[in-house]
Structure formats: structure tokens, C-alpha cells
């Protein structure tokens, strides 16, 4: 090959083909997707919690995309039905994830609906799941001698509770827990919504 223009234009054409297939066509195909009726937008607090989820890098160990029953037993683990594009209508950025060092969280709000469980688990995962390898996030909590009015005290199993004082959740931890609780996509979807 002796012509740099052939080289560069050829290279740009192949990239254009690739971008059309993986970006432009999906863009137009998915543009008209509407949210399922029962799907709610995130509240401001849940949105802040979602931002916290992004900050802490939860996505690197948790997916939010259960696989179809024909492929894997994800539904049997309580992770829920296979999602449709509309389920992600309010998700910017998307948080589908590609690792399951921990379980899928697409329906964690339905599976563990208690905010006390969520907060305690964020503070020390091994208090609730022995052998878990998830890190705790103690910096989202405070150790106080006494809870003040309006403080959210974290209830912990005695073995994990502080010897003195109480563990109080910071607003970041509460927002994150609220976001996790909002992850509930158990509503039914019509068959036509399945992406093909």
C-alpha cells in the first residue's frame, strides 16, 4: 500500500460501519421506547443515591440486568424477569454492569425492602451475609455517643454493633439505601415490549 489517503479513508469507512451498527441503528431503534406505566422516575433523593452508587463504583460488582429464564436461572434467584429497554427509561447513565461478584440488583428493592437491612448491610455486609466479600462503607456513617433528634440510627446485630454509642447513617448512606429500595421492576410488562 502506497497511498495514505486510501488508508485513512478506508479506516474511516470501517469505523463508520461499526458506529452505524452498534451506535446509530440502536439509537434510532430505541429512540421511541416509552417507559412502562408502572415505572416511576427517581425522586431527588433516589437520584442522589444513584449518584452515590456511581461514586462508590457499585456497578463493577453488581449488574442490573437479569437474564432470561431460557438462558440462566436468574429469575429463580429472585432477581426478576428479563428486562426490556423501557425499564431503563430514566437511567442516565445506564448501569447495566458486566460483573456479578455480587448479585444482580435490578430488583433489590423488592428482595430486601427494609431500609434498616440496607443501611446495616452497607455499613457491614458480613453482619448480614457471612462470607460476603463486599466492602463496608463506614465513611458513609458516623459513630455518635447519642443519637440526636432526626438521626437515622443503624440497627446492627450485637456482634457488629459498637461497644459504646450508636452508628448513625449520613445523608449519603440514606440516599443510597433509598435508591436501592427504588430498584423494583417486578411490575408486569406486555409481551410486545420485548426487544427483538
Partner 1 sequence: MDTVTILLSSFILSVTGLLVFIWSLRRKLFERNAKGARAIFAAGEIGHIEDPGATRAGAQALQRVVAHGGADHTQPDQGALHARLEADRTSAQPAFIFLCCAVVWLVLASFAGLTSSLKLHNPDWLTNTPWLTFGRIRTLHLNVVAYGWAPMASFGIAIWMLPRLLKTKLAGGRYAMLGAVLWNAALIAGLVCIGNGINDGMEWLEIPWQLGLLIVAGGAMIGLPLILTLHRRTEKHLYVSIWYMGAALFWFPILFVVAKFPGLHFGVEQATMNWWFGHNVLGLFYTPMALATTYYFLPKVLGRPIQSYNLSLLGFWALAFFYGQVGGHHLIGGPVPEWMVTLSIVQSVMMIVPVLAFTTNQLLTLRGVLAAIPHSPTLRFIALGGLMYTLSSIQGSFEALRSINTITHFTHFTVAHAHLGLYGFVTMVMFGAIYFVMPRIMAWEWPYPRLIEWHFWLVVVGFAIYFVGLTIGGILQGLAMVDATRPFMDSVTVTLPYLEARSVGGTLMTAGHLVFAFHFAAMALRYGPKRTGSVILGNPFAA
Residues 90-149 that bind partner 1 (CB under 8 A): 91-96, 98-103, 125-126, 129, 131-139
Query: To the nearest whole angstrom, how small is the minimum distance from the Cβ of residue 177 to partner 1?
Result: 16
Q: Between 40 and 94, name the residue whose CB sits nearer to partner 1.
A: 94
- Please tell me the distance from the alpha carbon of residue 49 to that of residue 176, in angstroms, as a whole number: 4
Phi, psi of 137 (to 5 degrees): -120, 65
Q: Between 57 and 150, name the residue whose CB sits nearer to partner 1.
A: 57
Q: Restricting to residues 44-73, name those near partner 1 by CB under 8 A.
A: 52, 54-61, 63, 65, 67-68, 71-73
Among 34, 41, 113, 195, binds partner 1 (CB under 8 A): 195
Our finding on whether 34 is near partner 1 (CB under 8 A) is: no
Cβ atoms of 81 and 66 within 8 Å: the answer is: yes
| Segment near partner 1 (CB under 8 A); pick from 26-34, 41-49, 149-157, 160-168 | 26-34
Binding footprint of partner 1, residue count (CB under 8 A):
76
Q: Between 13 and 147, name the residue whose CB sits nearer to partner 1.
A: 13
| Full DSSP string of 111-162 | HS--HHHHHHHHH-GGGTSTT--PPP-GGGEEEESSPPTT--BPP--GGGS-
Per-residue burial over 135-152, b = 16 or more CB atoms within 10 Å of its CB, e = otherwise: ebbeebbeeeeeeeeeeb
Amino acid at each position: 500500500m502506497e497511498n495514505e489517503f486510501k488508508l485513512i479513508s478506508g479506516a474511516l469507512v470501517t469505523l463508520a460501519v461499526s458506529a452505524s451498527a452498534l451506535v446509530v441503528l440502536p439509537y434510532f431503534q430505541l429512540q421511541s421506547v416509552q417507559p412502562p406505566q408502572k415505572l416511576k422516575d427517581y425522586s431527588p433523593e433516589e437520584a442522589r443515591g444513584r449518584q452515590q452508587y456511581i461514586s462508590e463504583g457499585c456497578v463493577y460488582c453488581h449488574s442490573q440486568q437479569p437474564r432470561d429464564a431460557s438462558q440462566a436461572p436468574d429469575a429463580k434467584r429472585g432477581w426478576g424477569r428479563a428486562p426490556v429497554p423501557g425499564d431503563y427509561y430514566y437511567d442516565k447513565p445506564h448501569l447495566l454492569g458486566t460483573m456479578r461478584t455480587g448479585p444482580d440488583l435490578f430488583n433489590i428493592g423488592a428482595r430486601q425492602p427494609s431500609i434498616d437491612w440496607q443501611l446495616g448491610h452497607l455499613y457491614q455486609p458480613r453482619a448480614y451475609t457471612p462470607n460476603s466479600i463486599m466492602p463496608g462503607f463506614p465513611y458513609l456513617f458516623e459513630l455518635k455517643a447519642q443519637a440526636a433528634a432526626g438521626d437515622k440510627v443503624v440497627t446492627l446485630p450485637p456482634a457488629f454493633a459498637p461497644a459504646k454509642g450508636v452508628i448513625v447513617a449520613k445523608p449519603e448512606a440514606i440516599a443510597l439505601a433509598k435508591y436501592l429500595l427504588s430498584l423494583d421492576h417486578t411490575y408486569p410488562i406486555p409481551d410486545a415490549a420485548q426487544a427483538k
